[in-house]
Amino acid sequence: MKRLPRSLLLALACSTLLSACGGGDFSDLDAFMAEKRARPGGIIAPIPTFKAYEAFSYSATTLRSPFDRPIEVREIAQLQAISAIKPDESRAKEFLEQFTFDSLRMVGSLERGQANWTLVMDPDGGVHRVSLGNYLGRHHGKIVEMTDTYVAVVEIVSDGTQDGWVERPRTIKLTGM
């Protein structure tokens, strides 16, 4: 029995609130709409004309990539002068040779007594200890110099001819983890 008076009280409160919202005086809204309808209609601007697309043919595909470091003419002459360069295919591949050179990062260096190592991070997040003479990268890159801030590597890459190879110097600079 107590439920009936509560539900009745709730229905009465809702009807009171809803009756307060209802009012038939919309004269201000009617006046506003009449004013807007009395104004002249606007002019719609015509659709703009666009220039036809002109196709561009890229003719620099045989040139050096703009993202590669420029090679000086002296370096090219030195590289072409050395024709007896060939990678040692019989050499056992080292672990870091499975990764591209650009995916490797120098993250630090170690020194213990006379031994110096550089810490190189692979793309999977593994950190490896390398020293002079170790190989890394997919182009037979041999470490030739190490400092606290960079590792100098000489890669052996194809010169585009059959059995033609050249050495390409590259560096990996120290980066934060």
Instruction: Render each residue's pLDDT in the chain as its tens digit; 177 residues.
Output: 455 677 788 888 877 777 666 666 788 889 999 998 888 877 888 888 888 888 877 777 667 777 776 666 566 555 555 556 888 889 999 999 999 999 999 999 999 888 999 999 999 999 999 999 999 999 999 999 999 999 999 999 887 777 778 888 999 999 865
Report the number of distinct structural domains present in the chain: 1
In a domain, 137, yes or no: yes
**DSSP label of 77:** H
> Residue 51: inside a domain, yes or no?
no
pTM check: above 0.85: no
In a domain, 121, yes or no: yes
The terminus-to-terminus CA distance of the chain in angstroms comes to: 73
For 137, the domain range is 91-173
- Cβ neighbors of 44 (< 8 A, separation 6 or more) are none
Domain CATH code at residue 100 = 2.30.30.830
Would 6 be classed as within a structural domain? no
Residue at 7 is within a domain: no
Whole-Å CA distances, 51 to 16, 48, 154 = 64, 10, 50
- The answer to whether residue 59 sits within a structural domain is no
